[in-house]
Structure 1
């Protein structure tokens, strides 16, 4: 990643207005023409633009690539960093450099600019290139807004501030005024920024705000997930689950079938995250259980068990990292960007969130009720209770999405359904742990290690599962007995 200090000044040009002869200031070189295509990235609420920071991917001209521009020490100066144009998404290094501005928000494409540029070099008596002057005809699109304008730009190469002032005076003397806009991005984004600041209580905005938070988590944690940083896989997995749940629970806010593929791809990524995360949980769970076993039986197998679990985690994490380097993962992330900037919303998305979203959440509660009745008819079938848990997660995350709509009411729902998912989640952890313990036992006994520690671990998991099941069922009864609950709200 290369860096440089950019020192430039912009001027407004009226239609048909040309630059004056600058031969009295410098030797003016021949014209070169370029067609530049740039995509600008920001958060949905334009945090970079408000902080006078610019991130873009541009092709054409002499500096194809990604550019990150940060405010400099003077109004005309900016620090500019470059990254290769081959990246289809914002480079992770760029995101990290502006993380304190993003505060976890997602980066998405917010504007496209097509520029026809005519460029000339301004040289001194000895041939040194002091600056580059260009005229630009810009065609910009940001959201639903289109703009066209002309401008001129003078950027220092080897010249100094005094030379830039001389060029400025020559231009102003010929009637070329300084631009009111500090950057092309600022001018292009102004109408879209006004739209974003407008009050909107629609269901579409509410669900996209929730989705945006989760996309921001996935983007912010990418590097940490690849490096197996503390809690990074877990937080990314939860964000992926929240995304899937929101797109299912509130599917009617989108046009029919428009988010189906994205939900399927999120499920694929969640499975890979789950492989790495489940091995983490299992290692922590069994390590703690082993520590409670009496000596010497417990310590006789600790090394064998912990080694096997560490190996399983390493393999699962390697598979996750490999998938994140592939085309499918890149397409998933690009699809999430487009979901935020060009969502295919249905007619109900324009309705007030407080009116249309609670009944949708009520539908998710209805699915839990149906699955709970099915599970209760065969209470020893743990697979059925696992299905209840997954459906309850959708309700929990759906209630989260309504926090900005219903406030304390939604928080009450969320807290109750969190107890449900935590209880049944502990059941599932015990089931998985027991399966792994049996597998390890079958191998280690052959190797001559005692069976007793494994039997003790199985008994521990069985007792924990019984307690967790009772907790989960109590929490489920409490959550479904809420009055009022999501099903009570409607048009």
Structure 2
């Protein structure tokens, strides 16, 4: 029999997931709201299925059959379709009487019918999970119920095994505000850190040796009638979702995952600056500082990634006799240290507290009873967008005066303002004509590329000097050769700076 959930047009699951370090569970179960509720205990064995060519995965779906005592439940989930920190997935469930999926049940569900045709007769087990789950059902307020679940066990794929130790907070009904409040309270009770990787994703990584890679930010679509305060929440929430979804790749040492996480922090800071006149100054200042601190930690690791993975390989053909491999060996040590600092930061309480605090402040206003804005309510974002972009554009124009005579610091400041303008344009572009936006962005990106090469050259010099200064005098010769090569590269890039800045100044503003 098909459950009501399976027949709903848009069934969904909204949850927050945390890694549960050893010793944290004991502390969390003493939290008053949990201690006051009788827990339920389950032994869940779930087998995940797909075709040999992973047809379901290409549809963005997972299919499992779960044993829970004597019950068997067939579940299909879609990939997270939300833009925020909490995962929001489509979910369809059916009680079944067999150990293998009943594909006919998918065929009867419009959203899954195409996938059902693609997998019929071709399914096979991919991996399974063996989990001991303890759940607490909490009534957070008059209209909100959430389930807190401790999951401990293993994921098995062939002979490979990976332990699971997670805390999940799933919204059963009601609004998300109490969910985030509860998460913040639990985070203050015991060490936890946010994670976004599902058990299904971990299972595929265990089976194939390849995890989900870095994730780009999902594009937003706005209606012209969207209120400015709702627009701010959507824009800012999307940056936090972009950050959260790249935690896993970053912790696995994926350079692009780290790059995307750093971009997400830049996006968040850019949105705060874009809406700065309308935000509560004190709380905004506190969050800006937290974002800046974590951005610096990720930025240091990103600098070493670029140095080791891009700059040195580009220089080696021109400097083949300069023993750059010695410089690279020393740089890899520093790179590893920088990535360890990133991992420590992402696993630290401060990072997850920052993200949840930002969600509460921006998305549900939990930290400001009177709301976080002082002038957005009742205004349309489409009518406000022009003035917002004007502010960002004026900052670029002001810092770009006399572009050819700018100091290294001046060029760096111009580059930061230009990057923020680019992020602002990306955020508000849905309100404007595509061709006009593209023309403007072509010129801004041309200027950004020039400034980027010049910035990389400056960073390279600093890192090379650091390698020599850290008791590695033997590296002086290859470091000097790299510095000279790098200086030439930077000078070549700057030849076009004045013209690129002039072209951007003369490009009509598409938002006017």
What TM-score do you get using the length of structure 2 for normalisation? 0.58
Pairing 1:383–2:409 present? yes
Would you say the 8 A contact 1:386–1:424 is kept in 2? yes
Number of aligned positions between the proteins: 351
- Separation in 1, partners of 2:448, 2:43: 44
Pairing 1:62–2:38 present? yes
The alpha carbon displacement at 1:50 in A equals 3.2
The alpha carbon displacement at 1:339 in A equals 3.5
Unaligned runs of 5+ in 2: 18-32, 47-61, 89-136, 146-169, 177-220, 366-371
Find 1:356's aligned residue among 360, 370, 384.
384
Which residue number corresponds to residue 181 of structure 1?
none
Query: CA deviation digits over 1:312-348, x for unaligned, max 9?
Result: 1111111111122222112111112214431423333
Which residue number corresponds to residue 225 of structure 1?
250
The alpha carbon displacement at 1:407 in A equals 4.2
- Separation in 1, partners of 2:64, 2:38: 23
- Separation in 1, partners of 2:457, 2:246: 28
Would you say the 8 A contact 2:450–2:493 is kept in 1? yes
Which residue number corresponds to residue 467 of structure 1?
492
| Alignment RMSD | 4.3
- Separation in 1, partners of 2:171, 2:480: 66
Which residue number corresponds to residue 329 of structure 1?
351
- Higher Rg of the two aligned structures: 1
- Separation in 1, partners of 2:313, 2:140: 62
Pairing 1:345–2:331 present? no
The alpha carbon displacement at 1:248 in A equals 0.4
Would you say the 8 A contact 2:233–2:362 is kept in 1? yes
Which residue number corresponds to residue 396 of structure 1?
422
For residue 468 of structure 1, give the secondary structure of its aligned residue in structure 2: helix
The alpha carbon displacement at 1:73 in A equals 6.7
Unaligned runs of 5+ in 1: 1-6, 11-47, 82-96, 111-135, 149-183, 191-195
Query: CA deviation digits over 1:419-440, x for unaligned, max 9?
Result: 3222212101101212333454
- Separation in 1, partners of 2:289, 2:444: 24
Would you say the 8 A contact 2:262–2:299 is kept in 1? yes
Which residue number corresponds to residue 370 of structure 1?
398
The alpha carbon displacement at 1:214 in A equals 1.7
Which residue number corresponds to residue 107 of structure 1?
85
Would you say the 8 A contact 1:53–1:71 is kept in 2? no
Residues 211/304 of structure 1: CA separation in 2 closer, same or farther (3 Å cut): same
The alpha carbon displacement at 1:105 in A equals 2.7
Q: Map 1:12-411 to 2 at 5 A.
A: 50-53=10-13, 55=15, 59=34, 60-63=36-39, 100-103=78-81, 105-108=83-86, 140=141, 146=143, 188=174, 200-293=225-318, 295=320, 297-298=321-322, 301-343=323-365, 344-373=372-401, 379=405, 381-408=407-434, 409-411=436-438
Which residue number corresponds to residue 29 of structure 1?
none
Would you say the 8 A contact 2:144–2:175 is kept in 1? no
Residues 258/356 of structure 1: CA separation in 2 closer, same or farther (3 Å cut): farther
Would you say the 8 A contact 1:108–1:341 is kept in 2? no
Query: CA deviation digits over 1:268-291, x for unaligned, max 9?
Result: 110000011110001123422442
For residue 495 of structure 2, give the secondary structure of its aligned residue in structure 1: helix
Find 2:457's aligned residue among 420, 430, 433.
430
Residues 251/460 of structure 1: CA separation in 2 closer, same or farther (3 Å cut): same
Query: CA deviation digits over 1:71-99, x for unaligned, max 9?
Result: 9879x978699xxxxxxxxxxxxxxx96x
Residues 474/208 of structure 1: CA separation in 2 closer, same or farther (3 Å cut): farther
Residues 61/375 of structure 1: CA separation in 2 closer, same or farther (3 Å cut): same
Which residue number corresponds to residue 419 of structure 1?
446
Would you say the 8 A contact 1:204–1:349 is kept in 2? yes
What TM-score do you get using the length of structure 1 for normalisation? 0.61
Would you say the 8 A contact 1:51–1:101 is kept in 2? no
